Amino acid sequence: MNDESQARVVAVVASPRRDGNTTALVGAALERLTALGCRCETIDVCGLRIAPCAAHDDCAERSECAYADDAAEAIEAVYAADGLLLASPVYYENVSAQMKLFMDRCYFPYTHGRWLAAKVVGLIAVAAETGLDDTLAALRRYVALSSDRDVPTRSVSGLADERGAAAADPELRAAARHLADEMARYLVPVV
Ligand SMILES: Cc1cc2nc3c(=O)[nH]c(=O)nc-3n(C[C@H](O)[C@H](O)[C@H](O)COP(=O)(O)O)c2cc1C
């Protein structure tokens, strides 16, 4: 199989703990997707320069976003991906600020009628105790508002707090691999 024929999966990871729990589950899912024949790449939004959306009244009339930061390149990769993985730790029972920054900057493609190309979107959320459902719901609403059709979503969420807890939890890692299997049904041709 050559590179171009492989489905391209982009993971947007929004945890500032680079070796934390969210990253561990993303790693397990991407390892599996790679083994199943997908081309995977990770966008660490916490390492990007992304300014908050300033709600320019003429956003829809502009040919490019007013901000020349890292958002445009990330948005380009995300909107072109065959499969998308959105992963966030739970912060105050919602997505992290870095994920929200990224989402809000997607208002530019929204006002220009540009929609996600993804055939499937995987969602990952990790909390110490509370807020998993609300966080997954926020990610699902982003997908719905960024699509011009019903894009299937699949999710994995779990409880882990200390750094390394998810990596050491075989059930959570298995759930992340299962998420990858479910996504692959939409991305990898059956032989
Ligand atoms: C700013 C902040 C807010 C948090 N809010 C919540 C919360 O509302 N509910 C919860 O169960 N855990 C909360 N946590 C704990 C994290 O969700 C938890 O530690 C998670 O494992 C972090 O994932 P990470 O290792 O990928 O960073 C919060 C942590 C931080 C730093």
CATH number of the domain at 3-187, out of 3.40.50.360, 3.90.180.10, 3.40.50.300, 3.30.930.10? 3.40.50.360
What pLDDT was estimated at residue 2? 53
Taking 90 as the threshold, does the pLDDT of residue 3 lie above it?
no
Which residue pairs from 167-173 have beta carbons closer than 8 angstroms and sit at least 24 positions apart in sequence? 167/21, 167/24, 172/24, 172/25, 173/24, 173/25, 173/28
Q: For residue 87, what are the β-bridge partners?
A: 13, 124
Alpha-carbon distance of 146 to 79, in angstroms, equals 9
Q: Please tell me the residue having the least CA distance from ligand 1 atom 21.
A: 161
Q: What's the chain's average pLDDT?
A: 96
What confidence score (pLDDT) does residue 137 get?
98
**Ligand 1 atom index nearest CA of 165:** 21
pLDDT confidence of residue 22: 98
- Cβ neighbours of 158 (radius 10 Å): 19
Domain ranges for the chain = 3-187
Q: Rounded distance, CA 7 to CA 184, Å? A: 9
Q: Which residues line ligand 1 (CB under 6 A)?
A: 15, 17, 20-23, 89-93, 126-131, 160-161, 163
- Does the structure show a pLDDT above 80 at 1? no
Residue 122 confidence (pLDDT): 98
pLDDT tens digits, one per residue of 102-159: 999 999 999 999 999 999 999 999 999 999 999 999 999 999 999 999 999 999 999 9
Asked whether the beta carbons of 35 and 48 are under 8 A apart, the reply is no
d(CA 64, CA 58): 11
Residue from 17, 25, 86, 91 to probe ligand 1 pocket by mutation (most atoms less than 8 Å from CB): 91
Beta bridge partners of 43: 12
Q: What is the DSSP letter of 166?
A: T
How many Cβ atoms from other residues are within 10 Å of residue 86's Cβ?
28
Question: 86, 99 in Cβ contact below 8 A?
Answer: yes
Percentage of residues of the chain with pLDDT beyond 90 = 96
